[in-house]
Structure 1
Amino acid sequence: MNTPASEPDIASRARRSVIVTGAASGIGRAAALAFATGGDRVLAADLDAAGVEETVRRITVAGGVARAVAGDLAEQRVVDAVVARAVAEFGGVDVLVNNAGVMDRMSAAHETDDAEWDRVLRVDLTAPFLLTRAVLPHMLAAGSGCLVFTGSEAGLRGGAAGAAYTAAKHGITGLVKNLAVMYRAQGIRANMIAPGPTATGMGVDSRPDAHGPSVVGSLIGANIGRIGSADEQAAAIVWLASGAASFVNGAVLPVDDGWSAV
Protein backbone atom coordinates (compact mmCIF):
# COMPACT_ATOMS: atom_id res chain seq x y z
CA MET A 1 0.00 0.00 0.00
CA ASN A 2 1.34 3.42 -0.90
CA THR A 3 1.89 5.97 1.84
CA PRO A 4 -0.83 8.66 1.64
CA ALA A 5 0.33 11.87 0.01
CA SER A 6 -0.79 13.85 3.06
CA GLU A 7 1.95 12.24 5.13
CA PRO A 8 4.94 11.80 2.84
CA ASP A 9 7.86 11.56 5.21
CA ILE A 10 6.89 10.84 8.78
CA ALA A 11 5.75 7.28 8.24
CA SER A 12 9.04 6.15 6.73
CA ARG A 13 11.67 8.49 8.12
CA ALA A 14 14.27 6.29 9.81
CA ARG A 15 15.19 8.58 12.66
CA ARG A 16 12.38 10.95 13.51
CA SER A 17 12.59 13.74 16.06
CA VAL A 18 10.20 12.96 18.91
CA ILE A 19 9.34 15.08 21.96
CA VAL A 20 7.87 13.17 24.90
CA THR A 21 6.66 15.07 27.95
CA GLY A 22 6.25 13.54 31.37
CA ALA A 23 9.18 11.32 30.40
CA ALA A 24 10.70 10.92 33.86
CA SER A 25 8.49 7.95 34.76
CA GLY A 26 5.40 5.96 33.96
CA ILE A 27 3.81 6.17 30.52
CA GLY A 28 6.14 8.96 29.40
CA ARG A 29 9.30 7.02 30.18
CA ALA A 30 7.89 3.88 28.56
CA ALA A 31 6.98 5.85 25.43
CA ALA A 32 10.39 7.53 25.24
CA LEU A 33 12.12 4.15 25.48
CA ALA A 34 9.81 2.63 22.89
CA PHE A 35 10.38 5.42 20.35
CA ALA A 36 14.14 5.21 20.89
CA THR A 37 14.10 1.44 20.49
CA GLY A 38 12.48 2.00 17.11
CA GLY A 39 15.33 4.27 16.04
CA ASP A 40 13.81 7.67 16.77
CA ARG A 41 15.69 10.50 18.46
CA VAL A 42 13.94 11.54 21.64
CA LEU A 43 13.77 14.85 23.49
CA ALA A 44 12.57 13.84 26.95
CA ALA A 45 10.97 16.59 29.04
CA ASP A 46 9.76 16.60 32.62
CA LEU A 47 9.69 18.66 35.80
CA ASP A 48 11.66 15.87 37.52
CA ALA A 49 15.24 16.54 36.46
CA ALA A 50 16.74 13.40 37.98
CA GLY A 51 14.00 11.21 36.53
CA VAL A 52 14.26 12.55 33.01
CA GLU A 53 18.04 12.24 33.06
CA GLU A 54 17.60 8.60 34.07
CA THR A 55 15.31 8.06 31.12
CA VAL A 56 17.92 9.52 28.79
CA ARG A 57 20.62 7.38 30.43
CA ARG A 58 18.61 4.22 29.78
CA ILE A 59 18.13 5.18 26.14
CA THR A 60 21.79 5.99 25.53
CA VAL A 61 23.02 2.85 27.31
CA ALA A 62 20.84 0.86 24.94
CA GLY A 63 22.41 2.64 21.96
CA GLY A 64 19.69 5.21 21.33
CA VAL A 65 19.82 8.98 20.98
CA ALA A 66 18.09 11.20 23.53
CA ARG A 67 18.36 14.57 25.20
CA ALA A 68 16.71 15.89 28.36
CA VAL A 69 15.11 19.19 29.27
CA ALA A 70 13.87 19.68 32.83
CA GLY A 71 11.34 22.30 33.81
CA ASP A 72 7.71 23.18 34.37
CA LEU A 73 5.94 22.74 31.03
CA ALA A 74 3.23 25.11 32.18
CA GLU A 75 5.78 27.92 31.71
CA GLN A 76 6.21 29.35 28.22
CA ARG A 77 9.98 29.69 28.61
CA VAL A 78 10.31 25.95 29.31
CA VAL A 79 8.10 25.13 26.33
CA ASP A 80 10.27 27.33 24.14
CA ALA A 81 13.41 25.64 25.46
CA VAL A 82 12.06 22.15 24.77
CA VAL A 83 11.13 22.93 21.18
CA ALA A 84 14.30 24.91 20.50
CA ARG A 85 16.44 22.03 21.80
CA ALA A 86 14.65 19.47 19.62
CA VAL A 87 15.03 21.65 16.54
CA ALA A 88 18.68 22.42 17.26
CA GLU A 89 19.67 18.83 18.08
CA PHE A 90 17.46 16.88 15.67
CA GLY A 91 16.57 19.34 12.92
CA GLY A 92 12.85 19.66 13.62
CA VAL A 93 9.91 18.02 15.37
CA ASP A 94 8.18 15.08 13.70
CA VAL A 95 6.20 13.78 16.68
CA LEU A 96 4.97 15.49 19.84
CA VAL A 97 3.67 13.31 22.66
CA ASN A 98 1.78 15.47 25.14
CA ASN A 99 1.82 13.06 28.05
CA ALA A 100 2.73 15.07 31.17
CA GLY A 101 -0.07 15.55 33.67
CA VAL A 102 -1.10 15.77 37.28
CA MET A 103 -4.09 14.30 39.07
CA ASP A 104 -6.61 16.25 41.10
CA ARG A 105 -7.84 15.23 44.57
CA MET A 106 -11.03 13.71 43.20
CA SER A 107 -12.71 16.83 44.56
CA ALA A 108 -16.29 17.64 43.63
CA ALA A 109 -16.84 21.18 42.36
CA HIS A 110 -17.85 22.60 45.74
CA GLU A 111 -14.69 21.11 47.28
CA THR A 112 -12.28 22.37 44.59
CA ASP A 113 -10.29 25.41 45.65
CA ASP A 114 -8.62 27.84 43.25
CA ALA A 115 -5.18 26.29 43.72
CA GLU A 116 -6.31 22.79 42.76
CA TRP A 117 -8.30 24.03 39.77
CA ASP A 118 -5.57 26.32 38.47
CA ARG A 119 -2.75 23.77 38.82
CA VAL A 120 -4.59 20.90 37.15
CA LEU A 121 -5.92 22.98 34.27
CA ARG A 122 -2.55 24.63 33.74
CA VAL A 123 -0.55 21.38 33.62
CA ASP A 124 -3.09 19.08 31.99
CA LEU A 125 -4.65 21.41 29.41
CA THR A 126 -2.75 24.66 28.98
CA ALA A 127 0.74 23.10 28.86
CA PRO A 128 -0.18 20.66 26.05
CA PHE A 129 -1.74 23.54 24.13
CA LEU A 130 1.40 25.65 24.54
CA LEU A 131 3.63 22.83 23.31
CA THR A 132 1.36 22.06 20.41
CA ARG A 133 1.26 25.70 19.37
CA ALA A 134 5.06 25.85 19.55
CA VAL A 135 5.70 22.77 17.38
CA LEU A 136 3.05 23.46 14.75
CA PRO A 137 5.12 25.98 12.73
CA HIS A 138 7.86 23.35 12.36
CA MET A 139 5.39 20.65 11.31
CA LEU A 140 3.65 23.01 8.91
CA ALA A 141 6.99 23.85 7.32
CA ALA A 142 7.78 20.14 6.95
CA GLY A 143 4.32 19.29 5.63
CA SER A 144 3.87 16.46 8.10
CA GLY A 145 3.66 15.69 11.79
CA CYS A 146 2.02 13.61 14.49
CA LEU A 147 0.48 14.94 17.69
CA VAL A 148 -0.38 12.30 20.29
CA PHE A 149 -2.01 13.19 23.59
CA THR A 150 -2.42 11.17 26.76
CA GLY A 151 -6.00 11.83 27.72
CA SER A 152 -7.97 9.79 30.20
CA GLU A 153 -11.17 7.93 30.85
CA ALA A 154 -11.99 11.17 32.66
CA GLY A 155 -12.12 12.80 29.23
CA LEU A 156 -14.90 10.41 28.20
CA ARG A 157 -17.10 10.27 31.28
CA GLY A 158 -18.02 12.23 34.39
CA GLY A 159 -17.29 9.62 37.05
CA ALA A 160 -13.57 8.91 36.72
CA ALA A 161 -11.98 11.86 38.57
CA GLY A 162 -12.72 15.17 40.25
CA ALA A 163 -14.04 18.35 38.68
CA ALA A 164 -10.67 19.82 37.67
CA TYR A 165 -9.14 16.71 36.09
CA THR A 166 -12.39 15.84 34.34
CA ALA A 167 -12.67 19.33 32.87
CA ALA A 168 -9.01 19.31 31.76
CA LYS A 169 -9.21 15.92 30.06
CA HIS A 170 -12.49 16.76 28.33
CA GLY A 171 -10.65 19.85 27.10
CA ILE A 172 -7.88 17.68 25.67
CA THR A 173 -10.47 15.55 23.86
CA GLY A 174 -11.90 18.67 22.21
CA LEU A 175 -8.46 20.06 21.40
CA VAL A 176 -7.44 16.84 19.66
CA LYS A 177 -10.55 16.83 17.48
CA ASN A 178 -10.10 20.49 16.58
CA LEU A 179 -6.44 19.96 15.65
CA ALA A 180 -7.35 17.00 13.46
CA VAL A 181 -9.81 19.08 11.48
CA MET A 182 -7.69 22.21 11.30
CA TYR A 183 -4.47 20.61 10.05
CA ARG A 184 -5.36 17.42 8.17
CA ALA A 185 -4.88 19.16 4.83
CA GLN A 186 -1.35 20.06 5.93
CA GLY A 187 -0.39 16.43 6.66
CA ILE A 188 -0.59 16.73 10.46
CA ARG A 189 -2.49 14.16 12.49
CA ALA A 190 -3.74 14.50 16.08
CA ASN A 191 -4.91 11.58 18.19
CA MET A 192 -5.36 10.69 21.84
CA ILE A 193 -5.17 7.63 24.03
CA ALA A 194 -7.59 7.40 26.93
CA PRO A 195 -5.89 5.20 29.52
CA GLY A 196 -7.79 3.27 32.09
CA PRO A 197 -6.18 2.62 35.49
CA THR A 198 -2.48 2.12 34.84
CA ALA A 199 0.40 1.25 37.14
CA THR A 200 2.41 4.49 37.20
CA GLY A 201 3.77 6.85 39.82
CA MET A 202 0.73 9.13 39.68
CA GLY A 203 -1.11 9.14 42.99
CA VAL A 204 -4.32 10.68 44.29
CA ASP A 205 -4.09 12.82 47.41
CA SER A 206 -7.78 12.62 48.21
CA ARG A 207 -9.55 13.26 51.48
CA PRO A 208 -11.45 10.11 52.43
CA ASP A 209 -14.26 12.11 54.05
CA ALA A 210 -14.81 14.31 50.97
CA HIS A 211 -17.86 13.99 48.74
CA GLY A 212 -15.99 13.61 45.43
CA PRO A 213 -13.85 10.59 46.31
CA SER A 214 -16.81 8.78 47.88
CA VAL A 215 -18.80 9.07 44.64
CA VAL A 216 -16.01 8.47 42.15
CA GLY A 217 -14.36 5.67 44.11
CA SER A 218 -17.46 3.51 44.10
CA LEU A 219 -18.00 4.04 40.37
CA ILE A 220 -14.42 3.18 39.44
CA GLY A 221 -14.30 0.16 41.69
CA ALA A 222 -17.45 -1.30 40.18
CA ASN A 223 -16.49 -0.93 36.52
CA ILE A 224 -12.76 -1.25 35.86
CA GLY A 225 -11.06 -4.41 34.69
CA ARG A 226 -7.43 -5.17 35.37
CA ILE A 227 -4.74 -2.55 35.95
CA GLY A 228 -2.76 -1.79 32.80
CA SER A 229 0.98 -1.28 32.41
CA ALA A 230 2.87 1.76 31.21
CA ASP A 231 4.29 -0.32 28.35
CA GLU A 232 0.78 -1.12 27.10
CA GLN A 233 -0.10 2.56 27.00
CA ALA A 234 3.21 3.40 25.33
CA ALA A 235 2.59 0.81 22.61
CA ALA A 236 -0.65 2.56 21.70
CA ILE A 237 1.10 5.94 21.59
CA VAL A 238 3.85 4.64 19.33
CA TRP A 239 1.29 3.03 17.02
CA LEU A 240 -0.71 6.26 16.68
CA ALA A 241 2.50 8.03 15.65
CA SER A 242 3.41 5.34 13.13
CA GLY A 243 2.76 4.88 9.45
CA ALA A 244 0.44 2.01 10.34
CA ALA A 245 -1.97 4.66 11.66
CA SER A 246 -1.56 7.02 8.70
CA PHE A 247 -5.35 7.23 8.14
CA VAL A 248 -6.18 7.66 11.84
CA ASN A 249 -6.87 11.28 12.71
CA GLY A 250 -8.95 12.84 15.47
CA ALA A 251 -9.33 9.48 17.19
CA VAL A 252 -9.80 8.88 20.90
CA LEU A 253 -8.44 5.41 21.62
CA PRO A 254 -9.44 3.88 24.96
CA VAL A 255 -6.65 1.69 26.32
CA ASP A 256 -8.56 0.41 29.30
CA ASP A 257 -9.43 -3.32 29.16
CA GLY A 258 -12.95 -2.45 28.06
CA TRP A 259 -13.80 -0.01 30.84
CA SER A 260 -15.21 2.53 28.37
CA ALA A 261 -17.48 -0.17 26.96
CA VAL A 262 -19.20 -0.82 30.31
Structure 2
Amino acid sequence: MNKLEQKTCTGCGASISSASVVCEFCYSRQKGWKNTLLYITTAFAILVLAASLITHTLSVLPNARKAIFWHEQLNLIAFKTARFPPMDKIFVASNNGDGSLFISHVVLEGFATNEPSSHFTSSFRIGKSVEPHNFINYAKSKKEAKSWHGSYVHDVSDQEWLSIRSLASKKSNSRFRTVFFSIDDLKFLQLKEKSRKKKRMLRTFPVKGTIYYYSTEDTTLKSINFDAVACITKRKGSHSSEMFDSDE
Protein backbone atom coordinates (compact mmCIF):
# COMPACT_ATOMS: atom_id res chain seq x y z
CA MET A 1 0.00 0.00 0.00
CA ASN A 2 1.34 3.45 -0.92
CA LYS A 3 2.38 5.33 2.24
CA LEU A 4 1.21 8.57 0.59
CA GLU A 5 -2.32 7.31 0.52
CA GLN A 6 -4.42 8.79 3.31
CA LYS A 7 -7.19 7.45 5.49
CA THR A 8 -9.39 8.83 8.21
CA CYS A 9 -8.49 8.02 11.85
CA THR A 10 -11.11 5.84 13.49
CA GLY A 11 -10.68 7.77 16.73
CA CYS A 12 -10.41 11.49 16.00
CA GLY A 13 -11.22 11.63 12.26
CA ALA A 14 -7.91 13.20 11.29
CA SER A 15 -6.29 12.39 7.95
CA ILE A 16 -3.39 9.98 8.48
CA SER A 17 -1.25 7.68 6.39
CA SER A 18 -3.06 4.58 5.26
CA ALA A 19 -0.16 2.52 6.65
CA SER A 20 -0.49 3.98 10.16
CA VAL A 21 -1.33 1.50 12.90
CA VAL A 22 -1.65 4.19 15.58
CA CYS A 23 -2.94 7.71 14.99
CA GLU A 24 -0.19 10.29 15.42
CA PHE A 25 -2.70 12.79 16.77
CA CYS A 26 -4.92 10.90 19.23
CA TYR A 27 -2.89 7.68 19.51
CA SER A 28 -5.92 5.52 18.77
CA ARG A 29 -5.23 2.13 17.28
CA GLN A 30 -6.77 1.82 13.86
CA LYS A 31 -8.05 -1.71 14.40
CA GLY A 32 -11.26 -1.46 16.40
CA TRP A 33 -10.84 -4.63 18.43
CA LYS A 34 -7.49 -3.40 19.78
CA ASN A 35 -9.09 -0.16 20.96
CA THR A 36 -11.89 -2.12 22.60
CA LEU A 37 -9.35 -4.37 24.35
CA LEU A 38 -7.44 -1.32 25.56
CA TYR A 39 -10.61 0.29 26.92
CA ILE A 40 -11.64 -2.94 28.67
CA THR A 41 -8.18 -3.38 30.22
CA THR A 42 -8.12 0.23 31.43
CA ALA A 43 -11.65 0.01 32.85
CA PHE A 44 -10.83 -3.25 34.62
CA ALA A 45 -7.72 -1.72 36.19
CA ILE A 46 -9.77 1.24 37.42
CA LEU A 47 -12.41 -1.10 38.89
CA VAL A 48 -9.76 -3.17 40.68
CA LEU A 49 -8.22 -0.01 42.12
CA ALA A 50 -11.64 1.27 43.23
CA ALA A 51 -12.51 -2.09 44.84
CA SER A 52 -9.19 -2.13 46.70
CA LEU A 53 -9.79 1.40 47.93
CA ILE A 54 -13.32 0.56 49.11
CA THR A 55 -12.12 -2.61 50.87
CA HIS A 56 -9.36 -0.72 52.65
CA THR A 57 -11.77 2.05 53.65
CA LEU A 58 -14.26 -0.44 55.07
CA SER A 59 -11.52 -2.24 57.01
CA VAL A 60 -10.29 0.92 58.74
CA LEU A 61 -13.69 2.59 59.11
CA PRO A 62 -14.72 0.77 62.35
CA ASN A 63 -11.47 1.71 64.08
CA ALA A 64 -11.72 5.26 62.79
CA ARG A 65 -15.31 5.47 64.04
CA LYS A 66 -14.26 4.11 67.45
CA ALA A 67 -11.46 6.67 67.69
CA ILE A 68 -13.85 9.53 66.96
CA PHE A 69 -17.19 8.25 68.31
CA TRP A 70 -16.56 5.67 71.05
CA HIS A 71 -19.78 3.80 71.81
CA GLU A 72 -20.75 2.21 75.13
CA GLN A 73 -24.00 0.32 75.65
CA LEU A 74 -24.72 -1.90 78.63
CA ASN A 75 -28.20 -3.46 78.61
CA LEU A 76 -29.61 -4.99 81.78
CA ILE A 77 -31.63 -8.15 81.08
CA ALA A 78 -32.34 -9.54 84.54
CA PHE A 79 -31.64 -8.61 88.15
CA LYS A 80 -32.90 -10.15 91.38
CA THR A 81 -31.62 -10.00 94.94
CA ALA A 82 -32.65 -9.15 98.50
CA ARG A 83 -31.38 -6.97 101.32
CA PHE A 84 -31.78 -9.32 104.27
CA PRO A 85 -32.06 -12.10 104.99
CA PRO A 86 -29.71 -12.73 102.04
CA MET A 87 -30.75 -14.65 98.96
CA ASP A 88 -29.29 -15.76 95.64
CA LYS A 89 -28.07 -12.86 93.51
CA ILE A 90 -28.81 -12.84 89.77
CA PHE A 91 -27.39 -10.30 87.31
CA VAL A 92 -27.66 -10.75 83.52
CA ALA A 93 -26.61 -8.04 81.05
CA SER A 94 -25.29 -7.61 77.51
CA ASN A 95 -22.43 -5.41 76.34
CA ASN A 96 -23.30 -3.94 72.93
CA GLY A 97 -20.53 -1.35 72.96
CA ASP A 98 -17.05 -1.08 71.46
CA GLY A 99 -14.91 -2.23 74.38
CA SER A 100 -14.92 -4.54 77.37
CA LEU A 101 -16.57 -3.36 80.59
CA PHE A 102 -15.85 -4.19 84.21
CA ILE A 103 -19.10 -4.31 86.19
CA SER A 104 -18.21 -3.07 89.67
CA HIS A 105 -21.43 -3.08 91.70
CA VAL A 106 -25.15 -2.31 91.76
CA VAL A 107 -26.78 0.18 94.12
CA LEU A 108 -30.48 0.17 94.99
CA GLU A 109 -32.17 3.00 96.82
CA GLY A 110 -35.71 3.77 97.86
CA PHE A 111 -37.99 4.35 100.84
CA ALA A 112 -39.08 1.54 103.14
CA THR A 113 -42.21 3.55 104.00
CA ASN A 114 -43.62 6.94 103.06
CA GLU A 115 -41.45 8.65 105.66
CA PRO A 116 -38.35 10.52 104.38
CA SER A 117 -36.38 9.02 107.27
CA SER A 118 -37.01 5.51 105.88
CA HIS A 119 -34.68 6.10 102.92
CA PHE A 120 -32.33 3.16 102.35
CA THR A 121 -29.38 2.36 100.10
CA SER A 122 -28.11 -1.15 99.41
CA SER A 123 -24.99 -2.06 97.46
CA PHE A 124 -24.39 -5.41 95.77
CA ARG A 125 -20.94 -6.28 94.44
CA ILE A 126 -20.59 -7.88 90.98
CA GLY A 127 -16.87 -7.59 90.15
CA LYS A 128 -17.00 -9.22 86.70
CA SER A 129 -15.87 -8.25 83.18
CA VAL A 130 -17.89 -8.58 79.99
CA GLU A 131 -16.41 -8.42 76.49
CA PRO A 132 -18.00 -6.37 73.66
CA HIS A 133 -20.98 -8.04 71.97
CA ASN A 134 -21.18 -10.60 74.74
CA PHE A 135 -23.24 -11.43 77.83
CA ILE A 136 -22.52 -11.54 81.53
CA ASN A 137 -24.56 -14.11 83.43
CA TYR A 138 -23.66 -13.73 87.08
CA ALA A 139 -25.30 -15.74 89.82
CA LYS A 140 -24.12 -16.05 93.40
CA SER A 141 -25.74 -18.40 95.87
CA LYS A 142 -26.10 -17.75 99.57
CA LYS A 143 -26.21 -20.65 102.02
CA GLU A 144 -28.66 -18.70 104.15
CA ALA A 145 -31.07 -18.49 101.21
CA LYS A 146 -31.62 -22.25 101.17
CA SER A 147 -33.46 -22.19 104.50
CA TRP A 148 -35.87 -19.41 103.50
CA HIS A 149 -39.22 -20.35 101.97
CA GLY A 150 -41.79 -17.62 101.67
CA SER A 151 -44.78 -16.26 99.78
CA TYR A 152 -45.24 -12.85 98.19
CA VAL A 153 -47.58 -10.37 99.86
CA HIS A 154 -50.89 -9.76 98.06
CA ASP A 155 -54.18 -7.96 98.70
CA VAL A 156 -53.36 -5.98 101.83
CA SER A 157 -54.60 -2.50 102.66
CA ASP A 158 -52.30 0.47 102.27
CA GLN A 159 -51.90 0.72 106.04
CA GLU A 160 -51.04 -2.97 106.38
CA TRP A 161 -48.64 -2.66 103.47
CA LEU A 162 -46.75 0.21 105.11
CA SER A 163 -46.49 -1.78 108.34
CA ILE A 164 -45.10 -4.80 106.48
CA ARG A 165 -42.62 -2.62 104.60
CA SER A 166 -41.44 -1.11 107.88
CA LEU A 167 -40.93 -4.55 109.45
CA ALA A 168 -39.13 -5.87 106.37
CA SER A 169 -36.68 -2.94 106.47
CA LYS A 170 -35.36 -3.99 109.89
CA LYS A 171 -32.33 -6.25 109.75
CA SER A 172 -33.41 -7.94 112.98
CA ASN A 173 -36.70 -9.16 111.50
CA SER A 174 -36.98 -12.86 110.69
CA ARG A 175 -40.46 -12.94 109.14
CA PHE A 176 -40.22 -10.71 106.07
CA ARG A 177 -37.76 -10.26 103.25
CA THR A 178 -37.65 -7.49 100.64
CA VAL A 179 -36.93 -8.89 97.18
CA PHE A 180 -35.72 -6.60 94.40
CA PHE A 181 -36.25 -7.11 90.67
CA SER A 182 -35.35 -5.07 87.63
CA ILE A 183 -38.66 -3.95 86.14
CA ASP A 184 -38.21 -6.14 83.03
CA ASP A 185 -36.92 -9.22 84.84
CA LEU A 186 -38.64 -12.32 83.47
CA LYS A 187 -39.30 -13.76 86.94
CA PHE A 188 -41.03 -10.56 88.00
CA LEU A 189 -43.12 -10.43 84.82
CA GLN A 190 -44.17 -14.04 85.39
CA LEU A 191 -45.07 -13.26 89.00
CA LYS A 192 -47.23 -10.31 87.91
CA GLU A 193 -48.97 -12.41 85.27
CA LYS A 194 -49.64 -15.22 87.74
CA SER A 195 -51.14 -12.74 90.20
CA ARG A 196 -53.27 -11.17 87.47
CA LYS A 197 -54.70 -14.52 86.42
CA LYS A 198 -55.62 -15.25 90.04
CA LYS A 199 -57.14 -11.77 90.30
CA ARG A 200 -54.79 -10.93 93.14
CA MET A 201 -53.08 -7.59 93.74
CA LEU A 202 -49.34 -8.07 94.12
CA ARG A 203 -48.02 -5.36 96.43
CA THR A 204 -44.85 -3.61 95.27
CA PHE A 205 -43.03 -0.31 95.70
CA PRO A 206 -40.62 1.47 93.33
CA VAL A 207 -36.85 1.41 93.69
CA LYS A 208 -34.10 3.18 91.78
CA GLY A 209 -31.24 1.00 90.54
CA THR A 210 -27.78 2.09 89.38
CA ILE A 211 -25.07 -0.04 87.77
CA TYR A 212 -21.49 1.16 88.24
CA TYR A 213 -18.83 0.06 85.77
CA TYR A 214 -15.41 0.84 84.28
CA SER A 215 -14.72 1.06 80.54
CA THR A 216 -11.55 0.20 78.61
CA GLU A 217 -11.80 3.68 77.08
CA ASP A 218 -10.65 5.26 80.34
CA THR A 219 -10.42 4.55 84.07
CA THR A 220 -13.41 6.65 85.10
CA LEU A 221 -16.16 5.03 87.16
CA LYS A 222 -19.37 5.36 85.14
CA SER A 223 -22.99 4.50 85.83
CA ILE A 224 -26.33 3.80 84.22
CA ASN A 225 -29.72 3.83 85.93
CA PHE A 226 -32.50 1.29 85.66
CA ASP A 227 -36.02 0.98 87.00
CA ALA A 228 -36.49 -1.58 89.74
CA VAL A 229 -39.29 -2.76 91.97
CA ALA A 230 -39.49 -4.30 95.43
CA CYS A 231 -41.79 -7.07 96.58
CA ILE A 232 -41.97 -8.56 100.07
CA THR A 233 -42.20 -12.20 101.03
CA LYS A 234 -43.37 -13.62 104.34
CA ARG A 235 -41.55 -16.63 105.68
CA LYS A 236 -43.52 -19.84 105.75
CA GLY A 237 -44.15 -21.25 109.18
CA SER A 238 -44.98 -17.87 110.73
CA HIS A 239 -48.58 -16.72 111.20
CA SER A 240 -50.20 -16.62 107.74
CA SER A 241 -53.36 -15.18 106.26
CA GLU A 242 -55.06 -14.71 102.89
CA MET A 243 -52.83 -11.79 102.05
CA PHE A 244 -49.93 -14.09 101.16
CA ASP A 245 -49.69 -16.14 98.00
CA SER A 246 -47.36 -17.22 95.20
CA ASP A 247 -44.25 -19.00 96.40
CA GLU A 248 -40.84 -17.52 95.59
TM-based fold match above 0.5 = no
TM bucket (normalised to shorter chain) is under 0.3
TM-score normalised over the length of structure 2: 0.25
TM-score normalised over the length of structure 1: 0.25
- Greater percentage in strand: 2
Larger radius of gyration: 2
- Greater percentage in helix: 1
